[in-house]
Every structure is written in structure tokens, then in C-alpha cells.
Amino acid sequence: MPELPEVENFKKYIDKTSLNKEIKEVELANTILLLKTSEKKLIKTLEGNVFESTSRHGKYLFIQLKKGGFLVFHFGMSGYLEYRECKKSIEGYSLLISFNDNRCLSYTDKRKLGKIGLIKDIQDFVEDRAYGPDALQISEEEFLETLINKRGSIKSVLMDQHLIAGVGNEYSDEILFQAHIDPESKTDRLSKPVLSTIFEKMQDVLQQGIIDVARNGKKQFFIENRKSGLPCPSQCGDYTEVKKIGGRSSYFCPNCQKLIK
DNA sequence: CCCCATGTTGTAGG
DNA sequence: TCCTACAACATGGG
């Protein structure tokens, strides 16, 4: 479920476990999707190298390498990291990195929609791919400017990584639930105060998500179960519904969340 | 068998 | 140009 809060926790996890250790060996499953690199180059670059520091932009995690450049992760739908005892083979993992403390960092990605790569510069990478500012870095002013003339549904706009990076399907539902706005509302019909509320809820929900994921391994949402027909989490007496917006299932309470068209 | 699933990218069409 | 819908990617669950 890697949206911004999950990726932020992967970043903290690397910081805690994997910095400043020499990489002894790297094994790579040939099913892994590589970004701007080859299997050979990735192994050659990482072996003997050291993870120095980490950073994040939206759902991307960057690890600065001592010998220059960055290792970049995108977790797709099912990717995750584990710092563990080394096992004999890569079986079950997409990437296995052994450090000189005889422990390993593994990347597992069952659905193989994630990507791993090598880049020289984060700023260039973000610009090349035309990603918007990180959802926790963007100012309220910039947020309003970005959204004010967008004609799409507010949910699609919040999830568009080229406008704002980091918000995905689940967190967008929670943000809009807390802001009391129907996800299908037209962005350019929303007033400035409403957009400001959405901005504030975006900050709150992502920050709380980071804390929840760190504490419990998962977020604790109002719109948690992603099912329709459940009692509204605000206990308004109505029931949650689901509708497709931008091709994604969106859960909401039709009573608490105002549709503005 | 069917449909669905947290993500991204590319295409076609209005 | 902007937006929507859809398919593709790969795999598992109900």
C-alpha cells in the first residue's frame, strides 16, 4: 500500500538499519523492473558501495550512494523492504543486498509493478518525469494555485502525481472524507476556503498516516475498510458508498460529503 | 471462470 | 490543451 506515508516509513527504516555499511553482495531476480539501468550496472554500482542518506519525493525513495548518485525505489502496489538475517538465496525476493555486518536488506514485490533504478540527481529525475511538488512540501499558496483552474474531479486532481506527488487512492478518500467533500466534486467549482480545508486535511491525514504506519504498520482511517454499505464512520446514520472516479474505487459517505458540481 | 486490487504509463477520443 | 476512459503491466484473493 505504498503511498507517501508508507514510503516515508521505508525511508526511516533504511535510516535505522542500512546506512554506513559496506555492501558485500547484491542479488537480483531477473523479474525486477529496472529504471534507467541494467542488471549488471546495478550490481556493479552497489557492490562495495555504501548507503549514506535517504530522501523522498512523493512515492519515490532515494538512497544516496557514497560513490555518487542515488538508488531509487518505487514500490508499485506491493513492494516492501525488510532488514533481516541473510538467507542462502534470493528466492522470494526481488532484490537482496548483503552488508558487511552479515545482515541483508531485501526488497520483495509480488506483483512486480515496482521499479528500482540508478539516477545521478534527484532534481533532474523529478523534472524529467514532470512530477509535482511533494504533498508535504507544497505550500498552501502553491496548492491553491495548482488546483484553482483544474476541471477534473477533486479526487483525480489530488491523485495526479504531475500536480502533487504522494497522494494515492486510499489517502485521497480519507482526505476528502475529513474535508466533507464528495470525491467527484469538480475542482474548479470549489471555493478557496474549501480548497484550504482540503489542503489542511491533506497535511493532517498524511502526517497521521506516517505516525500510524510507524506505530501499527498500517494507517487508521475513518474510511478504513474500503467497503460500501458500512455505517458512516462519523456515525451520521447514513452508509458508505463506492463509485468509480478516474477508474479507481472511491469510498465515501453521501450524507457527510458534499457534492459540488 | 469472473471481477477486483494500494501504482504508473500510454493511447484514443470528446 | 485539457480531461476521461481504458488497457497494459503481474499476481493473488474472493
Can you spell out the DSSP letters for A100-158?
TTSEEEEEEETT---EEEEES-HHHHHHHTT---BTTTS-HHHHHHHHTT--SBHHHHH
Q: Which residue is nearest to nucleotide C6 (CA to C1')?
A: A247
Q: Is A199 in a helix, a strand, or coil?
A: helix
A1 pLDDT band, cuts 50/70/90, is low
Residue pLDDT, tens place only, A95-139: 999 999 999 999 999 889 999 999 999 999 999 999 999 999 999
Stretch among A73-82, A147-156, A226-235 having the lowest mean pLDDT: A226-235
The C-alpha angle with vertex A175 and arms to A169 and A179, in degrees rounded to 5, equals 145
The pLDDT score that the predictor gives to residue A224 is 67
Q: What percent of chain A has pLDDT over 90?
A: 83
Q: What percent of chain A has pLDDT over 70?
A: 99
Alpha helices in A18-133 (DSSP H): 39-46, 122-128
A30 pLDDT band, cuts 50/70/90, is confident
The Å distance, CA of A111 to C1' of C12, is 8
Residue pLDDT, tens place only, A154-209: 999 999 999 999 999 999 999 999 999 999 999 999 999 999 999 999 999 999 99
A17 C-beta neighbours (distance < 10 Å), count: 17
A158 C-beta neighbours (distance < 10 Å), count: 25
A151 C-beta neighbours (distance < 10 Å), count: 10
| pLDDT value at A236 more than 90 | yes
Instruction: Read off the pTM.
Output: 0.96
Q: How far apart are CA A245 and CA A50, in angstroms?
A: 43
- Residues by Cβ under 7 A, strand B: A 1-3, 58-59, 74, 76-78, 111, 113, 129, 159, 161, 168-170, 226, 248-249
* Set of cell numbers at residue A125: 529525475
A211 pLDDT band, cuts 50/70/90, is very high
